[in-house]
Amino acid sequence: MEQYVIKGGTPLVGEVEIGGAKNAALGILAASIMTDETVLISNMPDVRDTNIMLQAMENIGVLIKRIDRHTVEINASRIHSQVIEGDYVKRIRASYYLLGALLGKYKQGTVVFPGGCAIGARPIDQHIKGFKALGADVDIAHGMVNAKASALKAAHIYMDVVTVGATINVMMASVMAEGQTIIENAAKEPHVVDVANFLNSMGANIKGAGTDVIRIKGVERLHRSEYMIIPDQIEAGTFMFAAAVTKGDITVKNVIPKHLESISAKLIEIGCEVQESDDEVRVVASKRLSHTQVKTLPYPGFPTDMQPQITVALALGQGISIVTESIFENRFKYVDELTRMGANVKVEGNTAIIDGVQKYTGAEITAPDLRAGAALVLAGLSAEGYTLIDDVKYIERGYEDFPEKLQNLGAKIARVDSERDVQKFKLRVG
Ligand code: EPZ
């Protein structure tokens, strides 16, 4: 079993290059099948989720050529099936983006119902509501979601909740529908804007992405494009918090500082120094962190995908902090693991009440999901002694070369898959 072994206590110092945004990449990959012409996508993160998406696309006949590790050429002119199935696809919820893309292009698609999720129930009712409004019949049978329309017609759709997934999916389904679709109460996340920009680069006519009203005028067809994915807001934020919890000094490079504003603001509030320039942000933490209150919210609020990382930091801060999770109902599972490392956190419903401790101590823990897993790595990096983290496969869904990037900042961390490797690591780092 793959694990990370960490010897904590070293302040992380140096520069780290941030990769392309995983959650933008997943939408963009799906959207790329909507043209029969060739699409070139760069700054593609090489992580498990994007690789599973590429595999799902290949399985229906999409030609994928890897130009280099982060650049793929995609040609979807020979798709032979509109059915996305297989256990491996269930593992990524974003496989449902292929439903919006197939429906938009072929007026029909079938995708295996996305699998269960560690962070909450994650219904897809808003996706279905949007597809139906565009004229599709949608049904769920035998674990598959089917959508089919004789013609797609523009509609005025009001999202009942702010949802990234449904906003992107309905946007894709409507780009070639007849007339002007309006999505109200749309999600404003940077990756929603990136998918819209990508679709526009293929000839779509989408206006207002990044605001809560998106207007999509249907076009006849989409065409070839070359597109570079935006930097990953959450990978960047994770390294910013790595500086905070290890009392380090990290410059995260190749970022869009605007996307990091809510994260920078909280770091400043808890006593870090944050310096922004064109495409980098430096975080310096030289004293004990202090306390604050934070509530996760849709963009531009504090991201739910940074909730475990800030909790790990606040649990080391002086005083009482409150973290409220307002997006997913089950996103505090990792707190039990953090408690094993000495944290003093009480979870009541969707709120964590945190009484900061002076330090963590290393322990054997398990990554319950992607972001919580990354946050536990940060805890291990600041802890006294050794930490062993199981189930790092979750972390690798969304962080490319995580141990290597941390090593370059001075971290003592290794990916291991046997007790012998752990012993070797201990001998090496002392
Ligand atoms: C995206 O998930 C991200 N995933 C998540 O990142 C992220 O946590 C989330 O947005 C919120 O920012 C991808 O982009 C692939 P939502 P998504 O639809 O689109 C409710 C990570 O770690 N809802 O914005 O699935 C839902 O239950 C992952 O990288 C409905 O009620 O999230 C939640 O409470 C984890 N009905 C809220 O909306 C629906 O039809 C927001 O979910 C859809 C969603």
Topology at the third CATH level for domain 22-228: UDP-n-acetylglucosamine1-carboxyvinyl-transferase; Chain (3.65.10)
Residue type at position 285: A
Neighbours of 425 (CB within 10 A): 20
SS3 state at 382: helix
Atom of ligand 1 nearest to the CA of 122: 27
Tell me the per-residue pLDDT of 329-364, one tens digit each, with 9 for 90 and over: 889 999 999 999 999 999 999 999 999 999 999 999
Atom of ligand 1 nearest to the CA of 165: 19
Q: Are 398 and 49 in contact (CB under 8 A)?
A: yes
pTM of the model: 0.97
CA of 362 to the centre of ligand 1 (A): 32
Contacts of 144 (CB under 8 A, 6+ apart): 83, 85, 110, 111, 112, 113
Phi and psi torsions of 421, nearest 5°: -60, -40
Same fold flag, 3-19+231-429 and 22-228: yes
CA of 20 to the centre of ligand 1 (A): 19
DSSP secondary structure of 150-175:
SS-B--EEE-SS--HHHHHHHHHHHT
Q: Are 243 and 12 in contact (CB under 8 A)?
A: yes
**pLDDT bucket at 430, cuts 50 / 70 / 90:** confident
Tell me the per-residue pLDDT of 143-186, one tens digit each, with 9 for 90 and over: 899 999 999 999 999 999 999 999 999 999 999 999 999 999 99
Architecture of the domain defined by 3-19+231-429: Alpha-beta prism (3.65)
Atom of ligand 1 nearest to the CA of 187: 24
Is the pLDDT score of 369 beyond 70?
yes
Sequence ranges of the domains in the chain: 3-19+231-429, 22-228
Contacts of 15 (CB under 8 A, 6+ apart): 250, 251, 252, 253
Tell me the per-residue pLDDT of 181-229, one tens digit each, with 9 for 90 and over: 999 999 999 999 999 999 999 999 999 999 999 999 999 999 999 999 9
Mean pLDDT, all residues of the chain: 96
Q: Is 117 a catalytic residue?
A: yes
| The predicted structure's pLDDT at residue 115 | 67
Tell me which residues have their CB closer than 6 angstroms to ligand 1. Answer: 23, 26, 93-94, 120, 122-127, 161, 163-166, 187, 189, 304-305, 327-328, 370-371, 398
Phi and psi torsions of 354, nearest 5°: -120, 125
CA geometry: angle 344, 349, 353, nearest 5 deg? 25
Residue type at position 234: I
